[in-house]
Amino acid sequence: MSFNFKITHKGENGRARTGVIETPHGPIQTPAFIPVGTKATVKSTLPDSISSLGAQAVLANAYHLYLQPGSQTIDEAGGLGKFMNWPGPTFTDSGGFQVMSLGAGFKKVIDMQGDSLEESITSSKERLAEVDEEGVTFKSHLDGSSHRFTPEISMQVQHEIGADIIFAFDELTTLYHDKRYQEDSLERTRRWALRCLDEHDRLTKERKERPYQALFGVLQGAHYEDLRKKAARDLGTMSSSGIEFDGFGIGGAIEKSRLGEIVGWVVDELPESKPRHLLGIGEPTDLFEGVENGADTFDCVAPTREARTSAVYSTSGRFNVSGGAYRKDFSPIDDSCQCYTCKNYSRAYLNHLFRSKEILGPTLATIHNVSFIVDLVAKMRSALHNGEFTEFKDSFLGKYNERKV
C-alpha cells in the first residue's frame, strides 16, 4: 500500500470533513489526533498502551533523532516503527522548529498569545542557530556541537528515519518578526520547498525497496492573511521533478484567538483532495476550531507534557490532580472516561503518586490525557458523520473550561 487520501463526509460548513489517509502501515481515520513520541517514545508510556487507547499513529522529531541515536541507526533497525515497536503509521516533523527554537535559545513552546517575549530571543547574546539561503547552522542543545540542516539534509534524515509521512524543511518565524522579515522568510521557505521535492524524489527512487513516504509541504505566514494565502497557493500548486506535495502542514506561530480564522484562510486556498495537518495544536478548544475549519490531523506535546506536571483533562475542565483538594477524592479523573487509569485508579491515588514523586504518576496521567484527547477527536469525527458537530461542540465547550486547580 502506498499513500492515498479519501474524503468520506463533508461537514455542514463546507470546510470540516472526515476521511481516510492510507499509509504503508495502515489507515488513519480523520480527523485524528496524533500523539507525539519526540525521541521515538511517547514519554513514560508503552507503545501497547498508546495503541490500546485508540491512537492511530505517532509523530517523532527529526532533529532529536538526528542527534540521538542518529538517523542511520534507525535506518539500520528497519525504520522508526520497527525501532520503537510501533506497528502503525508514523510521522516525523522536519526538525525545523527545533533547529530554530532550541538552537536560538527560544522557549520550548513559542508564545502564541502575542503579549510576552523572552529577552533571549532578541538579545545580543550568542545565537545558537544562523539562517542563510542554503539552510541553518546550529549548535546541539545536548553538547554544543555544531551541525548543519539544509532542505536536502532534512530529507535525507527523514528518509533514514523512515516515517510514513514526513514534512518539508521550513524556516520558523514568530509573532515578533515584522512583516518584512515574514515576507523574506516565506520566500525562502518556498525555495526550500522546491529543493525538498527534488531531494525527496531522488531519495524515493534511490531507496525504492523501502515503503513510500508521503511528503507534506509546510505553510508559514504568521497572522498575515495575504502571506498565509500566498503560502497555500504557492505550495498547493507546486511541482518539481515531476512530483507534488502529498499533503500540507499548517505551521508556525498562530495567534490562538484567531486559530480558526487562520486555518480557514489556508484551507480555502489548498486543493481539497489532499490532507492538512495542523502542527503543534492539541488543546480541546483549539481542536474544535481546527476541525471546524478543515484540518484533518493534529499533533501536540501538551497532553503528555501537562500530564508530567499532574495537569489532567476532564469534561468539566483541566485541573492539577496533585492539588490538596484531591487528597481524599476517590473518584476517577473523569467519570465518563473509559481509559485504563480512570477504570482502575482514583484522584486520591494519583495525588499520592505525584506528591510522593513516584514515576507511576506521570504514566497514569499520560495514559488518561492522551486517551481523553484521542477520544475527543474521535467523537468529533463521529459527530461530523452524523451531522451533529455543532451540537457536540456546543455541548462539550458549554461544560469545559481550562481551569487549573
CATH code of the domain containing 214: 3.20.20.105
Among 287, 247, 261, 156, CA closest to 210: 156
| Shared-domain flag, residues 181 and 219 | yes
Residue 11 CA: distances (Å) to CA of 17, 60, 269, 286, 381 = 5, 30, 18, 18, 10
What pTM was computed for the model? 0.93
C-alpha cell of residue 331? 473518584
Give the per-residue pLDDT at 140: 85
Long-range pairs, 280-284, Cβ under 8 A, ≥24: 280/97, 280/251, 281/254, 282/33, 282/373, 283/402, 284/313, 284/373, 284/376, 284/396, 284/397, 284/400
Name which residue leads in pLDDT, 328 or 147: 328
Region 363-385: what's the mean pLDDT? 98
Gap between the Cα atoms of 288 and 285, Å rounded: 5
| pLDDT at res. 84 | 98
More confident residue, 181 or 107: 181
- Same-domain pairing of 209 and 273: yes
Q: Quick check: 101 and 110 in contact, CB under 8 A?
A: yes
Q: What are phi and psi of 83, to 5 degrees?
A: -60, -40
Same domain, 289 and 315: no
Lowest mean pLDDT among 89-93, 127-131, 179-183, 283-287: 127-131
**pLDDT score at 114:** 41
Please check the confidence at residue 109 and state whether its pLDDT lies above 70.
no
Same domain, 214 and 89: yes
What is the rounded average pLDDT of the residues 137-161?
A: 92
pLDDT for position 176? 79
Q: Look over the chain and give the mean of its residue pLDDT values, rounded to a whole number.
A: 91
* Active-site residue, 93 included: yes
> Which amino acid is it at 282?
G
- 40 & 65 share domain: yes
**Is 239 found in the same domain as 202?**
yes
What pLDDT does 323 receive? 97
**Domain limit, last residue, from 300, 330, 353:** 300
> If we measure between CA atoms, which residue out of 94, 89, 90, 119 comes closest to residue 107?
119
Residues 77 and 119 in one domain: yes
Q: In this predicted structure, what is the pLDDT of residue 131?
A: 86
Residue 167 lies in a domain: yes
How many domains are there within the chain?
Answer: 2
Nearest to 51 by CA among 19, 84, 4: 84
Mean pLDDT of 321-332: 98
Confidence check: pLDDT of 127 > 60: no
Q: Is residue 306 part of a domain?
A: no
- What domain range includes position 247? 4-300
- Please check whether residue 405 lies inside any domain of the structure: no
Residue 217 included in any domain: yes
**pLDDT band for position 291 (cuts 50, 70, 90):** very high
Which pLDDT belongs to residue 111? 41
Whether 17 and 296 have beta carbons less than 8 Å apart is answered as: yes
Shared-domain flag, residues 67 and 183: yes
Classify residue 21: in a domain, yes or no.
yes
Residue 142, pLDDT score: 87
Model confidence over 53-76: pLDDT tens digits?
999 999 999 999 999 999 999 999
61 and 31 share one domain: yes
In a domain, 305, yes or no: no
Specify whether 17 is located in the same domain as 163. yes
CA dist 402 and 12 (Å) reads 27
User: What pLDDT is stored for residue 402 in this prediction?
Assistant: 52
Which of 93, 234, 246, 334 is flagged as catalytic?
Answer: 93
Interval 24-45: pLDDT, tens: 999 999 999 999 999 999 999 9
SS3 content of the chain, % helix, strand, coil (to 5): 40, 20, 40
**pLDDT tens sequence across 3-20:** 999 999 998 778 999 999
Strands 26-30 and 58-61: unpaired
The active-site residue, picked from 164, 246, 296, 299, is 299
Q: For residue 401, what pLDDT is reported?
A: 72
Please say whether the dihedral angle defined by the alpha carbons of residues 216, 217, 223 and 226, taken in this order, is positive or negative: negative
Confidence band of 174 (pLDDT split at 50, 70, 90): confident
End position of a domain, from candidates 248, 271, 300: 300
Query: In this structure, is residue 241 part of a structural domain?
Result: yes
Lowest mean pLDDT among 89-98, 221-230, 320-329, 366-375: 89-98
* In a domain? residue 181: yes
Closest by Cα among 393, 383, 371 to 42: 371
